[in-house]
Amino acid sequence: MPSNVKVLLVDDNPMVLGMLRQALAPMANISTAGDGADALLKIIDEPFDLIISDLQMAGMDGRALFDKIKARASTANIPFILVASKGDIDEKLKVLQDKVEDFIEKPFFVKEAAGKIKRIIDKIALEKLAKEAPTADGKLRGSLAQMNVIDLLQSLDLGHKSCLLTLTNDGDRCEIYFTDGQINHAVYGALKGDDAVYKVLGWSGGNFQIDFNGHSEQQTTARSTQGLLMEGLRMVDEAGREAEDNVLES
């Protein structure tokens, strides 16, 4: 189901706008604008959590829209993604590298662009959840139906968070410690480090708790957070193919 994140897509090409909207609709609440001027009116009227805009548009282009949004105190902190050609990113937009959330390079495959955007949507969703659901002990709790294990790990990585993530599912428990977004220690029963993380990547049910005061000095993982995710997903995919082969052989 879509997250609690409100996204505005801005593009003067209706076909691109439609394809991106369809790809992102399962992830967030999506609104669209056909040009920069229309987008500016919508942003003033309605608060958005993320803006994704094409650079090259007639009238007010994506750069002008970005400048106007960042110039207003009420909208200056809205994360912004610019869609542009490699040439424009390398030459015209280098000065914005630390000011935008990310760039989407054109031409792009919709599936790949949606995957890149999803990581940012998940990070924003987690931040909103932390603000909207405070607890007396300062810990953030939720269901893995809201945000699965992979999305949680990616969000904490992208947000450079230092914390303790505790996952529980049918009596099983896994503790994963982060330092600046990188997993440095994990425990699942007798398993530690990388193996403990791999064990929970496939969980589809259960609950999570994030303690932003939790930390560990231990270093039991050998890979970066992204490295753990890539290797873990490879292992899950390999196990799935083996299961299919066994079914075909039986």
CATH number at residue 121: 3.40.50.2300
Strand order across the beta sheet in which 163-169 lies? 139-143, 207-211, 163-169, 172-179, 182-188, 191-192
Same domain membership, residue 12 and residue 123: yes
Mean per-residue pLDDT pooled into runs of 10, the chain (250 residues): 83 93 93 93 90 92 93 92 91 84 91 92 86 71 87 90 95 96 96 95 90 94 94 78 54
Same domain membership, residue 200 and residue 160: yes
Q: ∠ at Cα 40 (34, 46), nearest 5°? A: 105
Give the H or E element holding residue 135: none
Same domain membership, residue 139 and residue 65: no
Determine the 3-state secondary structure of 193 from DSSP: coil
Two structure tokens written together for 9 = 């897509």
Same domain membership, residue 103 and residue 22: yes
CA distance 173 to 198: 13
Same domain membership, residue 161 and residue 241: yes
Last residue of a domain, one of 99, 128, 157: 128
In a domain, 57, yes or no: yes
Q: Where are the alpha helices (DSSP H) in the chain?
A: 14-24, 36-45, 62-71, 86-91, 110-132, 149-158, 194-200, 225-249
User: What pLDDT does 162 receive?
Assistant: 94
User: What pLDDT does 250 receive?
Assistant: 46
CA distance 102 to 79: 9
Same domain membership, residue 141 and residue 90: no
Number of domains in the chain: 2
CA distance 165 to 196: 13
In a domain, 229, yes or no: yes
Same domain membership, residue 121 and residue 138: no
Residue whose C-alpha is closest to residue 125's, from 2, 249, 250: 2
Give pLDDT tens digits for 67-96. 999 999 989 999 999 999 999 888 888 888
Same domain membership, residue 90 and residue 26: yes
User: How far, rounded to the nearest angstrom, does the alpha carbon of residue 177 sit from its chain's CA centroid?
Assistant: 19
Last residue of a domain, one of 105, 128, 151: 128
Same domain membership, residue 109 and residue 169: no
In a domain, 104, yes or no: yes
Same domain membership, residue 159 and residue 49: no
Domain extent for 25: 6-128
In a domain, 193, yes or no: yes
CA distance 22 to 114: 10
Last residue of a domain, one of 69, 104, 128: 128
Same domain membership, residue 142 and residue 78: no
Same domain membership, residue 100 and residue 210: no
User: What pLDDT does 249 receive?
Assistant: 52
In a domain, 1, yes or no: no
